[in-house]
Amino acid sequence: MSSTEFGVRPGEVTVELPDTFDAGLCFIGRIHTPWSNRDDCPKNPRESQAECSIEVDQRWAGALKDVESCSHLAVLYWMHRAPRNLVVQVPHHYGVQRGTFALRSPARPNPIALSVVRLLHIDANLLTVIGLDCLDGTPLLDLKPYFASTDSAPEAVVGWREQHKG
């Protein structure tokens, strides 16, 4: 990772990371996208209508049973190139301090990203989806059925973002 890619900007605050981990993750597949540089990635998952693919390792392919009946999925993946020690960040495109938990930045104590995608089709262990914005080769952690009844909150407001717009 180059220091220019994830350098600490003025106003950003870091903490000492814990000495040990509490749990372990296994990568269960890879995400294939058209973007191999961070600068090329869409700024958010709905900015692009690009079809991306999710390749699930053979070991876990059996777990895809019934997934084809889902119109949308929650995809969890690992932002393997992000720093984990930032508590306050100054996002490039906003230029002001924001707490890490108020941001979707990949830089966070556990760099797990969440994207809601539309499932187009599944061919064996390969899913074609719309709605990802990550780098090509990103490690996959989990796929979940998206339930509108519990996962959809169209009334949700992110106040700092609204103020930024207004």
Our CB check for a copy of itself shows the closer of 124 and 158 to be: 158
In angstroms, rounded to a whole number, what is the distance separating the alpha carbons of residues 98 and 163? 13
Tell the smallest beta-carbon distance from residue 137 to a copy of itself (Å).
13
Q: Measuring CA to CA, which residue among 73, 75, 52, 77 is closest to residue 148?
A: 73
**DSSP code, position 150:** H
Give Cα separations from 78 to 47, 66, 70, 96, 149 (angstroms): 20, 24, 23, 26, 26
Kindly state the tokens that stand for 148: 């509108």
Q: How far apart are CA 57 and CA 140, in angstroms?
A: 9
* Selection from 164, 115, 121, 119 nearest residue 142 by Cα: 115
Nearer to a copy of itself (CB atom), residue 74 or residue 136: 74
Q: How far apart are CB 121 and a copy of itself at their closest, in Å? A: 13
The nearest distance, CB 80 to a copy of itself, in angstroms, is 7
* Shortest Å, Cβ 27 to a copy of itself: 4
In the bound complex, what is the minimum distance in angstroms from residue 56's beta carbon to a copy of itself?
A: 8
| Backbone dihedral angles phi then psi of residue 129, each to the nearest 5 degrees | -140, 160
